[in-house]
Amino acid sequence: MKKYIDTGKKDTRSGFGVGLLEAGKADSRVVALTADLKGSLKMDAFAAEFPERFIQCGIAEANMIGVAAGLAITGKIPFAGSFAEFVTGRVYDQIRQEVSYGETNVKIASSHAGITLGEDGATHQTMEDVALMRALPGMVVLNPCDFNQTVAATIAAAKYNGPVYLRFGRPSVPNFTPAGEEFVIGKAIMMNEGTDVTIIASGHMVWESLQAAEALEAQGVSAEVIDIATIKPLDEEAVIASARKTGAVVVAEEHNMAGGLGELIAGVLAREVPTPIEFINGADKFGQTGTPAKLMEVYGLDAAHIAEAACKVIKRK
């Protein structure tokens, strides 16, 4: 199978910080807002380079979303950032009215998403955010898989005219996609071609899926791996074509079952090409305190569980 090299672990939020600075240099309309989490969101470099265009909102996320919408009305391209839970669940109604229904060019920068936020525990670990943002008409939902892809996704979000939800994480994870590759919103990325089973993944689960595919290869199973970096709009064509080819699908995501990528893919396949499918996700549970690696293992969000699900779904063909 195609070889992916981890060029050194990096956090995807740092990818956001780099992408934000680049986007800011390329377009003076880009502004950044945060609710007292400048350092956590890696906005320091942007704030230092463009102090006037960095807007500290204090611990008041609801107001931050409204201010971002107002700035967008005047032609700015605001990135409003906080932890995933606090820029989705806490402000769902504000995003719905000010950004989605209000049709403002606001980018929601959502860091520390999923269970890999780690030790802070369940109050901070949202695994419901994709469901909320997917439900909003017109909202683009991005969940890049590593540092390099997050840099590119941030730049693409700035160039795209319309609301974007950009999801990334806290821990250092393998950085394995090519640097400087253009991020195309709405396009699935074929990571590895295979014939026996399709593993569809987003975010941190893409690396785990590639590890699973390697393990499967050793067992003589050929796994196709697709990176769904854009959850909405979904590249249905890529999903359908792969399901037709392999006849078995595993969907892996760092998110709960309800409203996540798994249900999304299942819906498309049920309509177009009914296919046996297995799900790797956070089920219907809250997280808890622990290291990211420990939590991934305990909640079944790792390569071993993905490989197991692949073997299971192949038997159901």
Partner 1 sequence: MATSAELKKVSSQVRRDIVRMVANAASGHPGGSMSSADFLTALYCEVMNHDPKNWTRDGKGKDVFILSAGHLTPVYYSLLARTGYFPVEELNTFRKFGTRLQGHPSVEMGLPGITQASGSLGQGLSAAAGVALGKKLDKEDNFVYVMCGDGECEEGQIWEAGMFALHHGLDNLIAMTDWNGQQIDGTVASVSGEGDLELKWKAFGWNTIVADGHDMDAILKAFADAKALKGSGKPVMILFKTDMGHGVDFMAGTCKWHGKAPSADQCAEAMKQLEETLGDF
Catalytic residues: 61
8 Å CB contact between 211 and 159: no
Verify binding: residue 136, partner 1, rule CB under 8 A: no
Q: Rounded to the nearest 10 degrees, how much is the dihedral formed by the CA atoms of 120, 144, 279, 242?
A: -170
* H or E element that contains 82: strand 77-83
Judged by CB under 8 A, the number of residues near partner 1 is 32
8 Å CB contact between 197 and 310: yes
Verify binding: residue 36, partner 1, rule CB under 8 A: no
- Is the bond preceding residue 233 a cis peptide, omega within 30 degrees? yes
Verify binding: residue 102, partner 1, rule CB under 8 A: yes
Verify binding: residue 155, partner 1, rule CB under 8 A: no
Verify binding: residue 51, partner 1, rule CB under 8 A: no
8 Å CB contact between 260 and 135: no
The nearer residue to partner 1, 42 or 90, going by C-beta atoms, is 90
How many angstroms separate the CA atoms of 160 and 177, rounded?
22
Q: Which stretch binds partner 1 (CB under 8 A): 67-75, 157-165, 188-196, 197-205?
A: 67-75
Q: Which stretch binds partner 1 (CB under 8 A): 39-47, 91-99, 122-130, 158-166?
A: 91-99
Q: Pairing mode, if any, of strands 107-111 and 77-83?
A: parallel
One of 38, 42, 53, 167 touching partner 1 (CB under 8 A): 53
Verify binding: residue 184, partner 1, rule CB under 8 A: no
User: For residue 240, with 0-12 CB atoms within 10 Å meaning exposed, 13-18 middle and 19 or more buried, which class applies?
Assistant: middle
Return the bridge partners of 172, or none.
11
Verify binding: residue 67, partner 1, rule CB under 8 A: yes
Q: Rounded to the nearest 10 degrees, how much is the dihedral formed by the CA atoms of 257, 262, 264, 267?
A: -100
Verify binding: residue 103, partner 1, rule CB under 8 A: yes
One of 13, 38, 42, 76 touching partner 1 (CB under 8 A): 76
How many angstroms separate the CA atoms of 133 and 135, rounded?
5
Q: Which stretch binds partner 1 (CB under 8 A): 10-18, 52-60, 146-154, 270-278?
A: 52-60
Verify binding: residue 272, partner 1, rule CB under 8 A: no
> In terms of DSSP H, where are the helices of 27-102?
44-49, 61-73, 92-94
Residues 210-269 that bind partner 1 (CB under 8 A): none
Verify binding: residue 69, partner 1, rule CB under 8 A: yes
The nearer residue to partner 1, 140 or 295, going by C-beta atoms, is 140
8 Å CB contact between 41 and 109: yes
How many angstroms separate the CA atoms of 212 and 208, rounded?
6
Verify binding: residue 93, partner 1, rule CB under 8 A: yes
Q: Which stretch binds partner 1 (CB under 8 A): 55-63, 149-157, 184-192, 302-310?
A: 55-63
Verify binding: residue 57, partner 1, rule CB under 8 A: yes
Structure tokens at 144: 């890049």
Verify binding: residue 95, partner 1, rule CB under 8 A: no
Verify binding: residue 66, partner 1, rule CB under 8 A: yes
Distance of closest approach, residue 270 Cβ to partner 1, in angstroms: 30
One of 1, 40, 70, 286 touching partner 1 (CB under 8 A): 70
One of 96, 124, 187, 312 touching partner 1 (CB under 8 A): 96
Task: Indicate the residue type of 189.
Answer: I
8 Å CB contact between 317 and 248: yes
Interface ranges with partner 1 (CB under 8 A): 31, 52-53, 55, 57-58, 60, 62-76, 78, 93-94, 96-98, 101-104
